[in-house]
Each structure stands twice: as C-alpha cells, then as structure tokens.
Amino acid sequence: MRVKICGITQPAQAQAIAALGATALGFICVSASPRYITPEQIQAILAALPTANRPDCIGVFANPTLAEIATTLAIAPLSAIQLHGQETPQFCQQLRQQFPHLELIKAFRISSIETLAQTAAYATVVDTLLLDAYHPQQLGGTGQTLDWRSLKSFQPQKPWLLAGGLNPGNILTALQQLSPAGIDLSSGVERSPGDKDLDLVVQLFEQLRHRA
C-alpha cells in the first residue's frame, strides 16, 4: 500500500518519515496554505533524502499554470504532481504531454456522491486519483474525513488514494471499509500545520502492520 505523508516542510522530518516507511512525501506548493514551502525549500529537502529506497516526491498544486509547474520542477526535481484545484482534463493532458515522466495525480474534494462521477473524465489523462474531503474555505489539509461508506461502490479505472482526516486512530476503520491503492495523511500526523509529529507517524505504521 502507498503511504503518502503530506505537508512536509523540514528536511529532518522528511528523512525520518521516509525511514519510517512512507512511500511518498507531499510538498504544498499552494501559497495560501500554512504548509506552503518554496521550490528552493523543496529542493533542499529532496537533497537531504537518500537515493536508495527514495520515496515519491509529490508537489501539490491548486489551479497552477504550466509555467508555474515548470518553474518549480526546474528547481526541485519532483517525481509527481498532484492537482488539488479545479483543473480540467484538458489541462491534465497538456501537463502530461509537457512532463511525460511525472506521475500525475488528480485530487477530488468529495462534497456529494455526484462528485465521484466526475473522476471518470480524468481516467485517460492522469495516473492516479485522490479522494479528499470537501471544505468550503480550505482546498486541503482540512482534517475532515469523508463518508467512507458512500465510497464503497467507487471502482475507478485508475488507482486511487484515500485522503481526508486520516490518523492512526481511524486508519484501520477506514481500511476495513475501503480498499484504496494508498492513503494520504497530513493533519492527522501533525503537531501543527507543517510540523509533523513523528510519534504519530510511528503509530500509523504500527497500525498498518496490524492489518490482516
């Protein structure tokens, strides 16, 4: 199972979380977020990571321009781009053509069961889907859970990640109900926005080891 820990801002925490078993680290490239870090700060974190067993390094954007993504990639060699805004399938196609070597993840903030139907239009232009909680003012990192029962029938054509309010205390309950390709956590393993609590990350992996 993929385990993405998002909102990483500190090199030492990135190193520790990678060593604990995270398969992906997320870096927030949305300036309005309290977890925002600059491309230069991302680059410094990437430089601190080991080359062996290196986690995927995911830049999280919301409604970016292609130029903004290109500028970030020129400074920080990310391995994946996560789009967390209202990006269209056409934009995803353009991004895929410009950066064919990158994993492209499209996030959907699920406000209703109807939102799930929107994912079908992206199946041919992205590699991975991500389902997150909807919040009227926050694009992500809300700490709010989805209604996991309402997702039981979600069987997309592409692998998908479950996000939204996950933490060591509820992760097994979520995974008893759903079988995503991976999970994505941010505030559920934090002391404060951008400051990860390594004890909570340890607890997360202890819980995942208890899975049947």
Ligand X SMILES: O=C(O)c1ccccc1NCC(=O)[C@H](O)[C@H](O)COP(=O)(O)O
Catalytic residues: 6, 132
Instruction: Say whether residue 55 binds ligand X (CB under 6 A).
Output: no
How many residues in total does the chain contain?
212
Least distance in Å: CB of 56 to ligand X?
13
139-178 residues in contact with ligand X (CB under 6 A) are 139-143, 163-166
Instruction: Say whether residue 131 binds ligand X (CB under 6 A).
Output: no
Least distance in Å: CB of 161 to ligand X?
8
| Rounded-to-10 torsion of CA 31, 34, 35, 39 | 30
Helix, strand, coil % in the chain, rounded to nearest 5:
35, 20, 40
Instruction: Say whether residue 183 binds ligand X (CB under 6 A).
Output: no
Size of the site for ligand X (CB under 6 A): 25
Q: Tell me the CB-side half-sphere exposure of residue 12, using CA atoms within 13 A.
A: 3
Check: CB of residue 62 under 8 Å from CB of residue 97.
no
Least distance in Å: CB of 60 to ligand X?
5
Instruction: Say whether residue 72 binds ligand X (CB under 6 A).
Output: no
Cα(199)–Cα(138) distance, integer angstroms? 26
Least distance in Å: CB of 52 to ligand X?
25
Instruction: Say whether residue 87 binds ligand X (CB under 6 A).
Output: no
2-21 residues in contact with ligand X (CB under 6 A) are 6-7
* Alpha helix (H) residue ranges in 60-155: 66-75, 89-98, 113-117
Cα(165)–Cα(27) distance, integer angstroms? 17
Q: Which residues bind ligand X (CB under 6 A)?
A: 6-7, 26, 28, 30, 33, 35, 60, 62, 84, 132, 139-143, 163-166, 184-188
